[in-house]
Structure 1
Amino acid sequence: MSLKRALGPFDATMVVVGGIIGSGIFVVPAVVAQRLPTSALVLAAWLVGGGIALAGAFAFAELAALFPQAGGEYAYLREAYHPLVAFLFGWASLLMIQGGGLAAVAVTFAHYALTWMGRDASNAAAWSAAAITVVAAVNVLGAKPGSRLLNVLVISKMGALGALILGGLLLPRASSNGPAPSGPAPTSAWLGFGAALVPILFAYGGWQS
């Protein structure tokens, strides 16, 4: 039995782009700015994180060429170590890694949606659960409806990022006389740099998809 090809090149591209451009880019920059004292270090941290992500993507591209099989990370771990390692990773990915990322995306969506509507964000958990339920229901209908929804969401995210970039380039610079950003102050530049890389790598995550 052969599987029906329901997604085209554009749909497949949107799947990868949607996996990389998630909610992290809308939340992480503020966290990184709290952990590093200068804008130069902030930019350097993003460049280092991008280099790490690029190296990982190249490594996965080589692995995909060596093992052209379905399964991705599961197949690579099975071939490199042992089927048990791949099995345990699969369950960890389902219950913790992907589940945690999905929760982060849903919570971010709920906070932004409630703020945009001028409502209290204290009940973001219910909105997050509702968002996950709706997206899951659409995907249950089939690959094509899920792909259409994904395409709309990815294009919307790219438009929002484009608007933010243009705003940063064209709008006048805001005054810096406001309150200092809250957050734990790093004890040293190196510790702050390492602490900033953690959310940055989360924002860059998705290249393995």
Structure 2
Amino acid sequence: MTDKIEHQREKTSLVRALGPIDATMIVIGSMIGSGIFITSAESSRLSGAPGWLLLAWAVAGLLTITGALCCSELATMMPRAGGVYVFLREAYGHSIGFLYGWTLFLVIQTGTIAAVAIAFAKFLSVFVTAVSPDNYLIAPISLGGYAISLSTEQLVAIVLIALLTWSNTRGLEVGKIIQNTFTFAKIAALAAVVVIGLSLGWKANSAALSSAWWNSWANGWNPQVAQPGFTIVGGLALALLFGRSMVGPLFAQTAWTNVTFVGSEVRDPGKNLVRALVGGCGIVVVL
């Protein structure tokens, strides 16, 4: 009977076919998204100086690496499919794991996927003018205090989600190839932005070099303008708004825990999950 159970378990268990590079690409691909490209403007407005902006990203990166080290320890102890769900279930019981699992499914991951898909559609609209939030295929239908509609922008986002979902149902190898391909493309794009930014910005008349790096007030910054309704002034205002400016960098550097969800599909998880979490987070922080 025992041999039969073990044989059945082997037949139904997930295949450990993801190597260290594949796992690292999951971490990097999950972290590099629209947030990296769209949050710096808001953080810069809140902090008022290039030095504070870079410091916000650096502190967020340090917190990210710290979290990755903690998560890698848990992933090494429990290298099973489910990731954070498994960690919470084992630490706090099945009820907490159950609540987190359904929250992840209905709110956290679902909302993130929708936001990234809409961001893709917005960027696509720069090149394809037909893709627009105002180009309705189904005009808004009022339902009390809410309206249901379908724009070309929403349609692109829906099709993108459906396409990627379908591709992942084709098997681990197909999903791995797509993940690695798009992640390498994102790394190349982000590296190109860094190189171009340094090339164009390393001039005496550039905003980065002509601005005061740490004196936000010298750059015309005003806490009441940066945060309407803010009554605090002076250094305390800068400290508080600096903390708020870290929201964007922290948001942009999230999702590195996604690799733990496929813990049962990573080869030698005791080593590769740690390498993926620390290495992937480190690469993104540097970029």
TM over 0.5: yes
Deviation, 1:157, is 0.7
Deviation, 1:83, is 1.0
Quote the Cα distance in structure 1 between the aligned partners of 2:256 and 2:175: 20
Change (3 A) 1:175 1:17: closer
Which ranges of structure 2 fall in alignment gaps of 5 or more residues? 1-10, 134-151, 208-219, 231-236, 259-287
Q: Which has the higher strand share?
A: 2
1:130-188 deviation per Cα after TM superposition (whole angstroms, max 9, x unaligned): 11111111112222222221122111111110110011111255766xxx9xxx72332
Quote the Cα distance in structure 2 between the aligned partners of 1:151 and 1:28: 25
Query: What's the TM-score, normalizing by structure 2?
Result: 0.65
2:184 equivalent in structure 1: 155
Q: How does 1:73-88 map to 2 (within 5 A)?
A: 73-88=84-99
2:28 equivalent in structure 1: 17
Say whether the 8 Å CA contact 1:115–1:121 is kept in structure 2: no
Quote the Cα distance in structure 2 between the aligned partners of 1:10 and 1:129: 29
Change (3 A) 1:205 1:190: same
Corresponding position: 1:195 with 2:244: yes
The match for 2:156 among 118, 123, 127 is 127
111-120 vs 44-53, which moves further:
111-120
Secondary structure class of the residue paired with 1:116? coil
1:114 equivalent in structure 2: 125
1:141 equivalent in structure 2: 170
Quote the Cα distance in structure 1 between the aligned partners of 2:92 and 2:55: 35
Query: What's the TM-score, normalizing by structure 1?
Result: 0.87
Deviation, 1:117, is 3.2
The number of aligned residues is: 203
Quote the Cα distance in structure 1 between the aligned partners of 2:172 and 2:77: 28
Q: CA RMSD in A?
A: 2.2
Amino acid at match of 1:160: A
Corresponding position: 1:185 with 2:234: no
Secondary structure class of the residue paired with 1:117? coil
Deviation, 1:34, is 2.1
Identity of aligned pairs, percent? 37
Amino acid at match of 1:200: P
Quote the Cα distance in structure 2 between the aligned partners of 1:88 and 1:29: 33
Quote the Cα distance in structure 1 between the aligned partners of 2:18 and 2:76: 21
Which ranges of structure 1 fall in alignment gaps of 5 or more residues? none
- Deviating above 6 A after TM superposition, structure 1's stretches of 4 or more consecutive aligned residues are none
1:104-144 deviation per Cα after TM superposition (whole angstroms, max 9, x unaligned): 21111111112133455324222111111111111122222
Amino acid at match of 1:206: A
Quote the Cα distance in structure 2 between the aligned partners of 1:62 and 1:98: 23
Quote the Cα distance in structure 2 between the aligned partners of 1:77 and 1:107: 31
